[in-house]
């Protein structure tokens, strides 16, 4: 394809991504308005897959304005290598993305906090780990330095994921009161080379845009699910 044609195609794709999820006038309620719960805030991120076995889908971030939800932006999303599964019954190590509605406690990254970002942001250092060891008191927690009872083989050394963890948001999946064996370290982060080990990922520019948009005072949540069936987003 000629360079000019490539540029035009890219522009059309970006335009489509930027408006995905925004229903045209008269098309009926938007996705958040059809959900059982949106977390109670005025910001929401939806990560929707076409089916539970899918490894790709669409992520949209929404604002609540004048009593209705309006799409602020969208980007292609990636899910776990083995698709999606109900978060309440997920098993650790299955490389599945847990469905459900989750808070977003804080952001982190190897790269500096994006200009204009308001979210609490933790800078990754060489001593930063995320513990996934079921036998550790630091299970499903940032550990800096790595806790003595958290085996290195059962933890992520965050700085070694230079692409994926350039910027990320922590989800509160299995976080407030961790259930051993359910899973740890489920984030919204930058795309790697393919499907994830259970997180949701998006292109780098989309991740930066989300961090600039997210306002902790507006109570943003992340809803993960499918467009229909037992793990449909509208259930959450």
3-state DSSP assignment of residue 22: coil
Flag whether pLDDT at 2 surpasses 90. no
Tally Cβ neighbours within 10 Å of residue 229: 10
Q: Are strands 141-143 and 84-86 parallel, antiparallel or unpaired?
A: unpaired
Closest Cα to residue 177, out of 140, 209, 213, 203?
140
Mean residue pLDDT across the chain? 92
pLDDT score, position 16: 42
Query: pLDDT class for 26, splitting at 50, 70, 90?
Result: low
Average pLDDT over residues 225-233: 98
CA distances from 128 to 63, 132, 134, 176, 180 (A): 33, 13, 18, 20, 21
Closest Cα to residue 52, out of 20, 22, 89?
89
Tally Cβ neighbours within 10 Å of residue 106: 13
Euclidean distance between CA atoms 184 and 178, whole angstroms: 8
Residue pLDDT, tens place only, 67-120: 999 999 999 999 999 999 999 999 999 999 999 999 999 999 999 999 999 999
More confident residue, 2 or 127: 127
- Pair 103, 43: CB distance under 8 Å: no
- Pair 86, 105: CB distance under 8 Å: no
Q: How big is the CA angle at 71 (ends 19 and 97), to the nearest 5 degrees? A: 95
Q: Which of 1-5, 112-116, 119-123, 196-200 is least confident?
A: 1-5
Residue pLDDT, tens place only, 109-165: 999 999 999 999 999 999 999 999 999 999 999 999 999 999 999 999 999 999 999
The fraction of the chain above a pLDDT of 70, given in percent, is 89
pLDDT score, position 15: 40
Query: pLDDT class for 22, splitting at 50, 70, 90?
Result: very low
Euclidean distance between CA atoms 84 and 56, whole angstroms: 10
Flag whether pLDDT at 9 surpasses 60. no
């Amino acid at each position: 394809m000629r360079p000019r044609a490539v540029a035009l195609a890219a522009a059309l794709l970006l335009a489509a991504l930027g408006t995905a999820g925004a229903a045209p006038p008269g098309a009926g309620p938007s996705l958040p308005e059809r959900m059982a719960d949106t977390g109670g805030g005025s910001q929401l991120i939806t990560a929707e897959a076409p089916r539970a076995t899918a490894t790709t889908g669409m992520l949209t971030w929404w604002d609540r304005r004048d009593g209705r939800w309006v799409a602020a932006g969208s980007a292609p999303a990636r899910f776990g290598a083995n698709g999606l599964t109900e978060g309440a019954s997920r098993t650790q190590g299955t490389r599945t993305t847990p469905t459900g509605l989750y808070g977003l406690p804080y952001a982190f990254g190897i790269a500096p906090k994006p200009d204009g970002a308001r979210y609490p942001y933790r800078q990754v250092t060489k001593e930063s780990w995320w513990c996934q060891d079921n036998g550790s008191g630091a299970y499903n927690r940032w550990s800096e330095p790595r806790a003595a009872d958290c085996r290195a083989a059962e933890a992520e050394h965050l700085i070694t994921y230079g692409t994926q963890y350039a910027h990320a948001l922590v989800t509160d999946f299995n976080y407030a009161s961790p259930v051993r064996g359910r899973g740890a370290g489920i984030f919204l982060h930058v795309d790697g080379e393919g499907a994830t080990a259970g997180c949701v990922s998006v292109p780098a520019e989309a991740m930066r845009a989300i961090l600039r948009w997210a306002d902790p005072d507006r109570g943003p949540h992340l809803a993960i699910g499918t467009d229909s069936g037992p793990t449909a987003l509208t259930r959450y």
